[in-house]
């Protein structure tokens, strides 16, 4: 139970919906919408573990730091890989969200999106990190559920809805009805894996070593999952692995589509297998409402057409797909009593209580 002081501070604190993503962290304030959208990067001193920069400032340091400084992402595949750094990152974002608040009292209630199918240890790690970062109350929601709410799907009705949430570390596919997930799949193939595919393709075909930022830039500009009306080209810049010298290569969208094919095929097959296990009545509903795509990966060119072609179901990209999870978490806060059923509970046992210490050891 929150103390009297916590209740008093809560009167002047904000309620936050947080999409704690592998690639980006988004924070929505109840009644104000998205106020923070920054990369999930933290720069720290290797020796002292002091946090030097968080978010966009830390990402700018990637590949440009001296030996004593390292820029890292404290989340991998949607779960915490470094507890203390995640705690520091959350603390930074919570305080930043309150910076424009008149009373600047960072003791918020927060709803945080987590991948579906995570273990009790991983749930507890997120819960404890948020509490340690200053939250007075923490609620967890599965990311596909939050994405569906953010996309405006009728998840609480007796009608089937489906969302494919493609983030940085995980792709979440789920079918909903009556406020619950009927069928779901979570795979660790998403935006990061696509970037890695492009890096490997450049290395194998052109003996060219490129960085993650270049791979992401190429993916966004000319990456595709389906034939484009007009194919495009772009220049890859990196280091030749044979000569060791800088080099640039012109690549086409056809080549990048080939590079991305393994990841795209895996995502499409996951959608198909989810549909295969969906009850026929809900499949009938989905043929009316379609499949909603959310997350940054939903913006990959041609992905809508590819999934629609493979499933024979109308597929569409949610409005402002990048922010669906954070907006869904904000919507839950605004209607907590009505939507409490969509939240994820924690098992109150000795195993889950030890999650923080386990997460620290893993880090």
Binding site: residue ranges? 22-24, 168-170, 216-219, 296-299
CA atoms within 13 A on the CB side of 247: 17
CB 311 within 8 A of CB 271: yes
Return the number of other C-beta atoms located less than 10 Å from residue 325's C-beta.
35
In terms of DSSP bridges, do strands 233-240 and 109-114 run parallel, antiparallel, or are they unpaired? unpaired
Q: H or E stretch including 291?
A: strand 291-294
234: tokens are: 């772009």
Closest CA to 87 of 140, 51, 34: 51
3-state secondary structure of 175: strand
Return the number of other C-beta atoms located less than 10 Å from residue 74's C-beta.
23
55: tokens are: 């978010």
- Listed in sequence order, the DSSP H helices in the chain are 4-10, 56-59, 83-97, 120-132, 143-150, 191-206, 212-222, 253-276, 280-289, 303-311, 324-334, 336-339, 350-353, 355-362
Which residues contribute to the annotated binding site for ATP? 22-24, 168-170, 216-219, 296-299
CB 161 within 8 A of CB 289: yes
Closest CA to 111 of 341, 296, 326: 326
CA atoms within 13 A on the CB side of 1: 2
Question: Nearest 5°: CA angle at 104, between 101 and 107?
Answer: 110
Residue 239, Cβ density class (10 Å: 0-12 exposed, 13-18 middle, ≥19 buried) = middle
């Amino acid at each position: 139970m929150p103390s009297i002081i916590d209740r008093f501070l809560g009167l002047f604190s904000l309620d936050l919906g947080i999409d704690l993503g592998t690639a980006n962290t988004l924070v929505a304030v109840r009644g104000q919408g998205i106020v923070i959208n920054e990369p999930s990067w933290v720069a720290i001193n290797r020796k002292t573990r002091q946090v030097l920069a968080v978010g966009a400032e830390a990402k700018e340091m990637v590949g440009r730091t001296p030996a004593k400084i390292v820029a890292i992402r404290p989340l991998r595949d949607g779960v915490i890989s470094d507890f203390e750094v995640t705690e520091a990152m959350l603390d930074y974002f919570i305080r930043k969200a309150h910076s424009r608040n008149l009373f600047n009292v960072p003791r918020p209630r927060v709803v945080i999106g987590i991948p579906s199918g995570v273990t009790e240890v991983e749930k507890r790690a997120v819960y404890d990190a948020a509490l340690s970062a200053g939250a007075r109350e923490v609620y967890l929601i599965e990311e596909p559920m939050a994405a569906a709410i953010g996309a405006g799907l009728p998840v609480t009705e007796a009608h089937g809805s489906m969302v494919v949430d493609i983030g940085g570390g995980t792709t979440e596919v789920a079918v909903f009805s009556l406020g619950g997930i009927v069928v779901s799949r979570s795979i660790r193939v998403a935006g990061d894996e696509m970037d890695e595919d492009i890096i490997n393709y450049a290395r194998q075909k052109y003996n060219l070593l490129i960085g993650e930022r270049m791979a992401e830039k190429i993916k966004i500009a000319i990456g595709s999952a389906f034939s484009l009306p007009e194919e495009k080209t772009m220049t890859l810049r990196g280091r030749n692995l044979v000569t060791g010298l800088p080099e640039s290569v012109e690549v086409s969208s056809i080549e990048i589509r080939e590079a991305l094919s393994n990841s795209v095929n895996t995502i499409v097959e996951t959608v198909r297998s989810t549909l295969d296990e969906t009850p026929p009545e809900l499949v009938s509903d989905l043929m009316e409402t379609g499949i909603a795509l959310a997350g940054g990966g939903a913006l990959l060119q041609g992905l809508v057409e590819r999934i629609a072609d493979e499933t024979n179901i109308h597929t569409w990209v949610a409005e402002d797909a990048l922010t669906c999870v954070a907006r869904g978490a904000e919507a839950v806060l605004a209607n907590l009593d009505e939507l409490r059923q969509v939240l994820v509970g924690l098992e109150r046992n000795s195993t889950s209580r030890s999650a923080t210490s386990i997460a620290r050891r893993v880090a």
